[in-house]
A and B are shown apart, each in its own frame.
Chain A
Amino acid sequence: EAGVAQSPRYKIIEKRQSVAFWCNPISGHATLYWYQQILGQGPKLLIQFQNNGVVDDSQLPKDRFSAERLKGVDSTLKIQPAKLEDSAVYLCASSTTGQGNTETQYFGPGTRLLVL
């Protein structure tokens, strides 16, 4: 079974530029998550999708971050314009239903973003 795919793996941009990350979850997984992990910290949930609907985006900086999952499968996370403090690893994860507190989330390899 293929895991969660993410691209690109690395990205370097200058501040005020825009950037987009792509994620393809495990086939059949209804729930998709985007996390931001700043160096030395644990991952922080940015947004959670259930199929193509948003379940939770309370920690997404909506003035500059946006995400979509139009067909309920793959997803794109965008930052526009980027700030220095956005430098982090962006992790995508998926789970089967997103319900139940014992459901395992499976993570992709992450996209490492450096904003100069």
Chain B
Amino acid sequence: SQELEQSPQSLIVQEGKNLTINCTSSKTLYGLYWYKQKYGEGLIFLMMLQKGGEEKSHEKITAKLDEKKQQSSLHITASQPSHAGIYLCGAPTSGTYKYIFGTGTRLKVLA
């Protein structure tokens, strides 16, 4: 079965610092979604990547998809306390419309 592995599992950074979160799939990716979650709450859609090499940005968050490496990265520039939360990657599994999710990366930004 396909799995998504995220790294790091947790991250503490000083406000203003840049950071990167990675999501690696055990099988071919047919699309990759990034969500943000506050503890114990629902998932907020950030962005979706469909094609290899695709890069999208929203405010200070940029995500890229490397199809060959079966990997996506999420980069936050000049982090702020409002960026704190759990970042989850999700993807449809090969041949189905069923999503799987990574275990999440917990981000804390120190003011």
A: residues with CB less than 8 A from B are 4, 6, 33, 40-45, 48, 56, 89, 91, 93, 98-110, 112
Contact = CB atoms under 8 A, between A and B. Distances in A.
Interface of B: 4, 30-31, 33, 35, 40-45, 48, 50, 88, 90, 92, 97-104
Binding site secondary structure of chain B = strand
A104 B50 CA distance: 11
Contact of A98 (B48, B97, B104): B97
Contact of A101 (B44, B92, B102, B103): B92
A5 to B, nearest CB: 11
B31 A106 contact: no
Given A101-B97, A104-B33, A43 B48 contact: no
